Amino acid sequence: MGIDLALHIALSGISANQRALQQTSHNIANADTVGFTKKRVAMSVEEFEGRPLGVRAGEALRDVDLALLAERDGRGASAAAAELRARILQPVEAVQGRPEDNVSLGARVAALAQGFTALRDSPADPELMRAALRNAEEAAMQFRDSANAVQAARREAQNGIVSEVRLINDGLRELADLTRVIRAEVTNGRSTAELEDQRDVLLNRLSESLPLRGLRQPDGGIVLLARNGITLPLPTAGEDVFSAANAAPGPEAFYGPGGSLPGVMQGSVDVTRQLTGGRLAELVQLRDTMLPRMQAELDVAAVELAGRFDAVGLRLFTDAAGVVPDRLAGHVAGGHVGFAARIRVNPDLPPNAMQLRDGTHATAGGPGQPSAFTPNPPGGPAGFTTLLDRVLDHALGTHAAAGEPWGAFPVSGLGPQGNIHSAIANPRDVADFANQAVRLHTEARGEATAAAEAAGRMRDGMEARIRDRSGVNTDEEMAMLMRLQNAYAANARVMSTAQSMWDALLGAVR
């Protein structure tokens, strides 16, 4: 090997080492930067006819496992969705209480029985009449507060859909801008490693709203796939991929044919039912499925409570107009939807609490209904207990009359479309139905919290694996820095030796 070739090889080695040293120092400086992955300068040997000519330093390359990134993004979407569900359901639980609480919905209904039991022992006591009436007012208020909390959560879900769509569109435009830069850099033969780190961070953030998988293209482009086969185009400047309109969902509002709630549109295509995973799909599920079911269960309990009292001869619970829904007419046809938010103590009762003992109206009786009843007339016996027995044995009990069980509580055909099914099983009476409803609602929040914690642990585990595989390990980088410095010094010594040899040759010529 000639001296000039040795000098050239050493010079190329120094140049390559300088590039590698710069990259290693850059890795260390960005060790704590979110999404940054370690980079290595690609080295290649130059040779001609088997003879080494030097070392060439290529562009910085990253080493990432795209499958790990996709799994991390999916776990993040699950955690984000569950965290959102727990947060939206928590105020509902706070208002309804838990089944074991003395102020829960079920406990308020059970307190009615206690009040009527006390009045049964002293039917002429006006204070006990007023106490029973207060129990009724507290039960009605708890129904209204619970229903209003569900509707507030549903409005939050609807508003969240609009907000998430806006976030997704903004993120997709940012992703499109970054992808255009990456493609230009690929065309110009420059490294895109750090730009791709930034794109992975964007995809991770977007996937919390709408789980996405990016298929990288050789030209630096990317194809975005959402779940259920939705392919997303990269938008141009100012363009929106999705749209969702504002709305004010009440108990009667629903999404679907004839409904007033808007869907999520991809261009002109409604993709609402195709959305799965992430916050956007979770908000749709809350708005259209979970919260309407909770509302329907509250409505059933309120309608049955009012209807059963009315059937024994005491119109204790009505709407503001004094009307009791027909509990046998069906959830939709009977006007049951939203009754839990309208229920109140009959406005005619507070000035005439004695009717809690005497009754408000006569009943004719019939199959599956309480027996006939005639109210205690004005001036009738102060110890009249017929109505109080009917309330305790039938309105708040399991049978409509002796040997005649009440018909089953409706658990299907619920909601404004008549398509909601409840998981409440074989309730004994109204208090039991209310308790089961509260338990289901509380469990939904608890399950969401547990799911968020489990998905969060899985996401954090995937993050740790990605850091181990592709993150910057400062100890490893410092060791690499020392190796590169030693290589640099070795090449410098070769150059110094070559220079000495040239000096010796020149001296000999002189």
Tell me the average pLDDT of the chain: 88
| CA 172 – CA 193 distance, rounded (Å) | 20
Angle (CA) 105 108 111, round 5°: 155
Question: What was the pLDDT predicted at 95?
Answer: 92
Residue 362: which pLDDT band, with cuts at 50, 70 and 90? very high
> What is residue 258's three-state secondary structure?
coil
Q: In sequence order, what are the beta bridge partners of 318?
A: 344
Residue 70 has which token pair? 């996709």
Q: Answer whether residue 72 shows pLDDT above 80.
A: yes
Please tell me the distance from the alpha carbon of residue 368 to that of residue 403, in angstroms, as a whole number: 10
pLDDT digits (tens, 9 = 90+) for 447-474: 999 999 999 999 999 888 888 888 777 7
Instruction: Measure the CA–CA gap between 220 and 120, rounded to whole angstroms.
Output: 81
C-alpha–C-alpha distance, residues 181 and 108, integer Å = 63
Region 342-351: mean pLDDT is: 91
Predicted confidence band of residue 510 (pLDDT cuts 50, 70, 90):
low
Report the 10 Å Cβ neighbour count for 199.
22
Q: Render pLDDT for 105-118 as a digit per residue (tens, 0 to 9).
A: 889 999 999 999 99
| Mean pLDDT, residues 42-50 taken together | 65
| 343-378 burial code (b ≥16 CB/10 A, e <16) | bbbbeebeeebbbbbbbbeebeeeeebbbebebbee
* pLDDT at residue 54, as a whole number: 61
Of the listed ranges 31-40, 79-88, 161-170, the one predicted with least confidence: 31-40
Q: How far is CA 320 from the centre of its chain?
A: 35
Burial classification of residue 482, based on how many CB atoms lie within 10 Å of its CB (0-12 exposed, 13-18 middle, 19 or more buried)? exposed
**210-253, pLDDT tens digit by residue?**
999 999 999 999 999 988 778 888 888 778 899 999 998 999 99
The three-class DSSP label of residue 59 is strand
* Strands ordered across the beta sheet of 265-266: 242-243, 265-266, 269-270
CA distance 274 to 264: 10
For residue 50, what pLDDT band results from cuts at 50, 70 and 90? Answer: low
